[in-house]
């Protein structure tokens, strides 16, 4: 069976409320259908996105067009408790990786998303107080109950995911981290190689850095885009996908024009000098 990660990029749903044209379930269902038809079948959620609104709206769209469920896959995440959601006297943002909390959040996500199973369920942020054995049992139980297909982590460093994995009988399949031309520390810190060694698929959030590229990088992207006849977004994503292990970008836009620009990544291949020229422009100094 093909991996659900075998797509040009995943579609991040965090900013779904920013698109009033997709507010109606039928409109969002049509948008989802167009993405699936184009081969973009993996949708990335989290329980806190829009305080649950993003999952809810997505679920309402699937209720309006239930046939879509068979043709798409969903990632969602949990363990962040926002200050607004904290019921303690402190109203403090914190992380909760206890079994009870993770089971509760998974159930709520399933309900909001109108799904019977979450394809990949991630621990959203490392929790310094994580009861690793208890957290692991929760993840295993969710898989055993058929409510979750696979499990992974997000924003974890190597020893953090290795400690969870040491307590877990289920294989962690991925780690979602910030990675783009403007955020590249992991490429020189050994973190990339840790992902490769441990067999974790690397998912890159904010892969286009919100379009906030330094001037030198923007110029280099424009130059290569013109030479190859594609959009700058496609060049930036191709740079990511050239990294060993082919990190999977999680593109956080619902704008049709920008998605079409990103989709051109399938037509782009960068050679080594081009890749390093982009990295040099992003870093603002020559490669050492």
Q: What is the pLDDT of residues 11-40, one digit of tens each?
A: 999 999 999 999 999 999 999 999 999 999
Using alpha carbons only, what angle is made at residue 72 by residues 69 and 78, rounded to the nearest 5 degrees? Answer: 95
Percent of the chain with pLDDT over 90: 97
**20: three-class secondary structure by DSSP:** helix
Active-site entry in 19, 49, 101, 276: 49
Find the helix or strand (DSSP H, E) in which 202 lies: strand 201-205
| 121 within some domain | yes
User: 257 in a domain, yes or no?
Assistant: no
**Is residue 14 assigned to a domain?**
yes
- Asked if 202 and 209 touch (Cβ cutoff 8 Å), the reply is no
**Residue-averaged pLDDT of the chain:** 97
In the predicted structure, residue 2 carries a pLDDT above the cut 60: no
The model's pTM: 0.97
What is the per-residue pLDDT across 86-120, written as a single tens digit (0 to 9) for each? 999 999 999 999 999 999 999 999 999 999 999 99
Q: In this model, does residue 3 exceed pLDDT 90? A: no
pLDDT at 1: 36
Domain count of the fold of the chain = 1
Query: How far is the C-alpha of 106 from the C-alpha of 183, rounded, in Å?
Result: 30
pLDDT, mean of residues 121-131:
98
> Could you tell me if residue 226 is inside a domain?
no
According to DSSP, the residues that pair with 43 across neighbouring strands are 11, 74
Could you give the percent of the chain with pLDDT greater than 70?
Answer: 99
The answer to whether residue 71 is domain-embedded is yes
Is 101 an active-site residue?
no
Is the CA virtual torsion 4, 5, 11, 12 positive or negative?
A: positive
Q: Residue 170 has what pLDDT?
A: 95
192 vs 44: CA distance, rounded Å: 22
CATH code (residue 155): 3.20.20.100
Q: What is the pLDDT of residues 155-212, one digit of tens each?
A: 999 999 999 999 999 999 999 999 999 999 999 999 999 999 999 999 999 999 998 9
Is pLDDT of 63 > 90?
yes
């Amino acid at each position: 069976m093909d991996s659900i990660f075998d797509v040009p990029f995943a579609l991040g749903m965090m900013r779904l409320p920013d698109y009033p044209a997709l507010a109606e379930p039928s409109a969002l269902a049509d948008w989802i259908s167009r993405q699936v038809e184009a081969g973009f079948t993996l949708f990335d959620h989290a329980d806190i996105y829009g305080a649950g609104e993003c999952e809810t709206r997505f679920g309402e769209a699937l209720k309006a067009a239930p046939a879509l469920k068979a043709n798409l896959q969903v990632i969602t995440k949990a363990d962040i408790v926002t200050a607004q959601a904290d019921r303690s006297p402190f109203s403090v943002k914190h992380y909760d990786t206890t079994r009870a909390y993770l089971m509760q959040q998974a159930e709520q996500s399933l309900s909001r998303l109108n799904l019977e199973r979450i394809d990949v369920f991630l621990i959203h942020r490392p929790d310094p107080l994580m009861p690793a054995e208890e957290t692991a049992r929760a993840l295993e139980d969710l898989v055993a109950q058929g409510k979750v297909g696979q499990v992974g982590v997000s924003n974890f460093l190597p020893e953090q995911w290795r400690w969870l994995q040491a307590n877990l009988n289920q294989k962690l399949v991925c780690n979602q981290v910030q990675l783009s031309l403007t955020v590249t520390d992991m490429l020189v810190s050994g973190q990339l190689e840790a992902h490769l060694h441990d067999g974790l698929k690397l998912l890159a959030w904010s892969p286009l850095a919100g379009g906030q590229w330094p001037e030198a990088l923007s110029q280099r992207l424009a130059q290569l885009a013109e030479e190859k006849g594609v959009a700058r977004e496609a060049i930036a994503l191709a740079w990511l996908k050239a990294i060993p292990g082919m990190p999977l970008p999680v593109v956080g836009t619902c704008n049709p024009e920008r998605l079409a620009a990103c989709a051109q990544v399938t037509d782009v291949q960068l050679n080594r000098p081009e890749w390093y020229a982009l990295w040099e422009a992003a870093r603002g100094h020559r490669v050492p």
